[in-house]
Structure 1
């Protein structure tokens, strides 16, 4: 029986991890302890899961060792704010526990190295929940590449689009501060860098990038006025703001955020508001990136991401010595102001006719990926799958390294060597 302590009772903890444990996988898994510094999260958790009544709750990080001893936990799930991940992961490994963490694993390369080093000394293991890997389209792409259909991979084009609704949400909350999130090249883009690393089974070698803050922050062109400390719910200028007006009429006094529990809204957290102004001066992250990544076996990635666009999704092309693969996905079609086609994977052989590949889909969040990764996490990896899909600390570390290199290159105007970046942080830890 896996005895689980949850560190950080976030919305993702509740929906992504605790709900399947309570209702689907309780024969093999049991939640035995809860830890969060916000007492309101205990109430929210118990309201959602009466089945957990009586499970001990710990409200201080310093109670971690006490929680493990009293509950007999052999596994922890780490789902607090991004910058809190590293301490819980390392503490868990020091207690020889298995660790399951949401992405991003951590927020800096230095912390990624701390995790890798701690795991090497531990009897425990780290699993990073990269649920994007489990989308049926992404699994099919992995199969096509692994089977050699494209030949040797030479280049990848990946352009990711985040719409004005989703994109602006990152600038209303803690994500907008680099010290908490690592910036969006880590908080968000590690999903994408991990996908590419996994698809082509190559290690990133060098990164060069540009980045900018184009839409949000104090200089945003759509800022109604240069005023700080505004909140959407109480702002007198909100109906002059295009980001607010696209969702709410003049008679609306409420705000919504799809990253919170909809029936709890701001009361779900103590002294927390998810509607801070997206034009505040304190915003210190970028909303636009264009990057090139070279891989150790010769592949080249051309990547871009933009956090304020009319629709959401991505375009992907993978080129190889035998042909080219293309696909396009539109996320959140209810927010897309035009009809969207069904996603297919199109293969163009180097010599021959186009092949359209239709993919069998399944229900669930993140394009059907969530139910499958939950099965692998809580029941063990599917033995019939012909490739590895659950990510460990090394995959987590390389995704973080690319994300940090993208940011550092955009600031310095110089290419960043990935192994050198990892080694520098290793020496800092050792020193």
Structure 2
């Protein structure tokens, strides 16, 4: 039995060339059909096959099947899909607030489960998942890909080698541009009940990276946040971009019908379930935060200062690690540091459609020891999906799960829980004005060291 505190075992999906892994996917939105759909068919068809696709929208489901290139039945009933197709592995890429339903059902029906991040959106659903995973004899994996990029891995290596001594504090800032950031507020992500806010949906990536880098688990969170730009703050609003009276004056106007992929995936099927992809960014229903800042105290006494900006002119991030023997600074996609000009709209469209150009380059990490001059560590980087992390994650899961990873990049249910619990605690801290103990949210007791 895989305990809830474990990561994926190295033999998680045992199969050989004589038997293809049978995969079923629930949720045929953009993440499902690209990263966990078409990419698996294109790159791994010799070792796996899709045996079922499921979605509540039958029209989008059929388009998803065609886009993925899968030769399998489709189902609007998840239970029927699982009982009929008998998959080895279920991949969950539905709306965040429903992840727990399919994770739990999948485990109970005797399947291994791989869920897209975040694990779920609140502590009650998180506890339900923990209980279900413990009661099963199956594996649950959370698809964190950021850990697998060479750049993130190099930071982990430097910290693990005690390059700057004992880690004391971390400053981490993530910037979403006015294309990517705005896209969350157009969709169901802008409603707390569906996404748990960007504290959970987006920041789970960041908190997972930080938990992994720091090699400890969060103990207490205090946060600030507010909605001051999107939603009710807009000077005007409309139904959606397509039919808005303000399309000629709104800086955020987006003609979804000119985006061929988005039109085919969403507009052509919205009559089935009423899901509108180009909602107004200033609609009254938006109730998540658009500015966020938190302080997290880790169980090993490391202090994290974190912020997330949702309407930056550029998209990128930077991090600084302070240790007893020096400091490490790292960043990606900060145009002033890289002396580059990037079309942010084109960049966002490529990332969303998983169509990034395969390019290599070198990116710096600054290491500054006390009493010494700084050193620049150059890292070979790939511009493909999430800095080369996507393909490495897929290879680990489907090709060589048995090969030990010295960096511990595989994420299990405990990793998924600890990343979302920071965001959940941040939400609760904003609402109450008090610091929140992680141990008060579920029955998991934070550890001073992850490993």
Q: CA RMSD in A?
A: 2.3
CA distance in 1, matches of 2:302, 2:395: 32
Q: CA deviation at 1:214?
A: 1.4
Please state how far the C-alpha of 1:73 moved relative to its aligned partner.
1.0
Distance 2:444 2:116 in 1: 25
- Answering whether residue 17 of structure 2 is matched by residue 17 of structure 1, we say no
Query: Is it true that 1:217 corresponds to 2:218 in the alignment?
Result: no
Q: What does the per-residue CA deviation read over 1:143-187, in whole Å, with 9 as the maximum and x for residues that have no partner? A: 111122122111000011111111111111111111110111001
Q: Is 1:191 aligned to 2:199, yes or no?
A: no
> What is the Cα deviation at residue 196 of structure 1?
0.3
DSSP-derived class of the 1:37 partner: coil
User: Does structure 1 residue 404 correspond to structure 2 residue 427?
Assistant: no
Q: Deviation at 1:21?
A: 2.5
Say whether 1:100 aligns with 2:114: yes
* Matching of residue 312 in structure 1 with residue 279 in structure 2: no
For the residues of structure 1 that align with 2:131 and 2:266, how far apart are their CA atoms? 39
Aligned with 2:322: secondary structure?
A: strand
TM-score, normalisation: structure 2: 0.84
Matched, 1:335 2:338: no
Q: Verify: 1:282 aligned to 2:296, yes or no.
A: no
State the match for 2:51 in structure 1: 32
Task: Check conservation: 2:220, 2:296, Cα contact below 8 A.
Answer: yes
Matched, 1:235 2:244: yes
Match of 1:90 in 2: 104
Partner of 1:344: 364
* Aligned mates of 2:275, 2:319 — CA distance in 1: 37
Describe how 1:30-429 pairs up with structure 2 within 5 A.
30-50=49-69, 52-53=70-71, 55-61=72-78, 64=79, 66-220=80-234, 223=235, 225=236, 227=237, 230-244=239-253, 254=256, 261=262, 264=265, 266-267=267-268, 269=270, 270=272, 271-330=274-333, 334-335=342-343, 343-381=363-401, 383=403, 385-423=405-443
Contact 2:363 2:380 in 1 (8 A): no
Q: Separation in 2 of the partners of 1:49 and 1:406?
A: 37
CA deviations over 1:29-64 (Å, ceiling 9, x no partner) = 1211111111012221232244x23x1211024xx1
C-alpha spacing 1:105/1:163, structure 2 compared with 1 (3 Å)? same
Query: Which residue of the partner structure matches residue 14 of structure 2?
Result: none
- Residue 291 of structure 1 aligns to a residue whose secondary structure is strand
Q: For each residue in 1:257-286, what CA deviation from the matched residue of structure 2 results, as whole angstroms up to 9, or x when unmatched?
A: 79x646555225543321111111111100
Contact 1:20–1:374 under 8 Å retained in 2 = no
1:28: how far off?
2.0
Flag the 1:207–1:257 CA change in 2: closer, same or farther, 3 A.
farther
Q: Could you tell me how far 1:111 is from its partner in structure 2?
A: 1.2
Distance in 2 (CA, whole Å) between partners of 1:49 and 1:412 is: 45
Cα offset, 1:96, TM superposition: 2.7
Rate the CA distance shift 1:93–1:331 in 2: closer, same or farther, 3 A.
farther
Distance (whole Å) between structure 1 residues aligned to residue 343 and residue 92 of structure 2 = 31
Q: Helix, strand or coil: the match of 2:321?
A: strand
| Deviation for aligned residue 1:387 | 2.1
How many pairs align?
Answer: 404
Q: Deviations over 1:99-150 (max 9, x none)?
A: 1111111111211121111111111111101111112111111111112212
State how far apart, in whole Å, the 1-side matches of 2:408 and 2:437 are.
27
What runs of 5+ residues in structure 2 fail to find an aligned partner?
1-19, 336-340, 346-360, 446-451
Deviation larger for 66-75 or 341-350: 341-350
Structure 1 spans left out of the alignment, 5+ residues:
426-431
